[in-house]
Amino acid sequence: MHGEGGRLRWHGKGGRLRRQGVSFGVVGLSGTVLNTALVYVFYGLLRWPLPFAVVLASELAIFNNYRERFVTAILAVKTALFDITSRPSHRDGAIQGPTKDPPARSSPTL
């Protein structure tokens, strides 16, 4: 775990796991600090009811922790919706499906 001079190694066996652990800790700590600060502002300064202040502060802290994933998901949904709505429809006079008539079916003989 420790390299030369007692320094923590970030590469090699288990290095990725350590980096993820530190990253998780930083995100968790920043979320806790933000949540506490928002509860102080909403409840302490603005005098909002405590349950409302706690719920709103928690939601904002969660959104802050995962904002990159939320933004990516929202953009993916918007892109998918834009692709669906930008396609021509039969109301626009566009031809749907194959342009040739399908071959006629022969009736079964008895």
pTM above threshold 0.85 = no
**pLDDT at 56 > cutoff 90:** yes
Closest CA to 19 of 6, 39, 35, 1: 1
Q: Is the confidence at residue 64, as pLDDT, over 80?
A: yes
59 vs 15: CA distance, rounded Å: 32
37 φ, ψ (degrees, to nearest 5)? -65, -40
pLDDT in tens, 7-26: 655 566 677 788 888 888 88
Q: CA angle 68-69-74, nearest 5°?
A: 100
